[in-house]
Chain A
Amino acid sequence: MSAATDIKTLVINGQDVSARPDQTILDVARENGINIPTLCHLDGLTDVGACRLCLIEVKGQNKLFPACVTRVEEGMEVTTESERLAKHRRTILELLFAERNHICAVCVANGNCELQSLSQELGLTHVRLPYRNPELNVDASHERFTCDHNRCILCTRCVRVCAEIEGAHVWDVMGRGADCKVITDLETPWGDKNSSCTKCGKCVQVCPTGALYEKGKVGIEKPKHPEFLPYLNLMREAQ
């Protein structure tokens, strides 16, 4: 049976849905108007399953599955909302807020930040964990963009968009654990004269928070537009 005709049926939150075998639970859920919170996922980029917000329950399995990388299976019964999932999602957001210095009120992304809106969506009104207050730098060496590590949540969207879409692979991650940070080239300033940055700005557009932003602009004036990605991929495939 070819992939095109091998259609699976499954149940998400009690709703019967159909899917192609190459679709993920996240794809199918969103197609059917069921929202699952995500941060590292972005349509058009490969999924890494790192933020763990899209975890869902599958009937008969005690383990939780990340919806963004879990393929549909025939007869699967998926639950995307439960007390257990809500608790984990809120805790993950708390961990992110406490990890670095997310001062929403003075952030360029205030009002256009996915971390901020998710906290509202998931009913997070305060963070129970102590703030870590790390001392992090801001790289403003680039002529057009700024990288503020205080706001970075290490979703690696910038790394992926630069490598996969722009093909430049300027961004990557260095360090381990809490010391991880995104870097440009071999940890040289973004605006270095030998930088391999093509100044395309895709990383800025896909950044969910105020970690990467265009100089001279604040979030309210200029929301980010990552919608170009799926379209770009579609056009490339068509060629």
Chain B
Amino acid sequence: MSKLKVATVWLDGCSGCHMSFLDMDERLLELAEKIDIVYSPIVDRKDYPDEVDLALVEGAVASVDDEAKIKKIRAHTKFLIAMGDCAITGNVPSMRNPIGPQAILDRAYIENATLQQQIPTVLVPKLLTVVRPIHEFVKVDLHLPGCPPSANTFYTVLTALLAGETPDISALTRFGA
């Protein structure tokens, strides 16, 4: 049986979900017999593959770049998992929503900058007015809340999915877990 092609994606998040994913430790070896990580921040591959069986997406959609990425990912993925609170609720990145992106840019690049006070415009993607969860842009097949979801959660969910079962998410994790 060919291995399941799995991608992990990092949008606007802290990479904590990826850390937690790696916290599966030795269980990763067991999983590696059944899955191939075809795209990930920890895999040296620049472009999203054409056909992915399962994608775990960390982070909220905060910039035009994120928006383009998530749409592309959806188009080339069979089963999409929103991984962690940022992808599901906006979480910490969305804390700027009440005040808007300009206030954040000013604080970061003007008020607190000692040298070269200017807001970058080239080579950095434009911020969206509001940070939004990924399901507001594309269809999500499974929501895995938690900040981050624990390694156990990842393991249980992935093994269940590999066995063709539907995991009971609420028994495993919750917002902010």
Show the binding face of A for B, using Cβ within 8 Å: 97, 101-107, 110-111, 113, 116-117, 119-128, 130-131, 133-136
Contact = CB atoms under 8 A, between A and B. Distances in A.
Most buried by B among A97, A102, A127: A127
B176 A110 contact: yes
Contacts of B97: 101, 131, 133
A103 B92 contact: yes
B174 A120 contact: yes
B155 interface: no
Nearest to A134: B98
7 nearest A-B residue pairs (beta carbon): A104-B176, A105-B147, A133-B97, A120-B174, A135-B98, A125-B143, A126-B143
Given A104-B85, A125-B88, A127-B89, A136 B98 contact: yes
Contacts of B88: 125-126
A117 B174 contact: yes
Contact of A123 (B82, B136, B170): B170
| Dominant secondary structure of chain A at its interface with chain B | loop
Given A104-B85, A104-B175, A125 B94 contact: no
Interface in B109-136: 130, 132-133, 135-136
Interface string B76-106: 0000001001001111101101110000000
A135 B99 contact: yes
A222 B73 CA distance: 42
B19 interface: no
A35 to B, nearest CB: 15
Contacts of B28: none
A133 B98 contact: yes
Contact of B89 (A113, A123, A126, A134): A126
Contacts of B133: 126-127, 131
A131 B136 CA distance: 10
B130 to A, nearest CB: 6
28 contacts: A97-B175, A102-B175, A103-B89, A103-B94, A104-B147, A104-B174, A104-B175, A104-B176, A105-B85, A105-B147, A105-B175, A106-B92, A113-B176, A116-B176, A119-B175, A123-B170, A124-B170, A125-B88, A125-B170, A126-B88, A126-B133, A126-B143, A127-B89, A130-B132, A131-B89, A131-B90, A133-B98, A133-B130
A120 B135 CA distance: 19
Contacts of B85: 104-105
Nearest to B133: A126
Q: Which of B88, B90, B98, B147 has the most CB of A within 10 A?
A: B98
B146 to A, nearest CB: 9
Given A104-B174, A130-B132, 13 more contacts: A101-B98, A103-B92, A103-B94, A104-B91, A104-B147, A104-B175, A107-B176, A119-B175, A122-B170, A127-B89, A131-B130, A134-B98, A135-B99
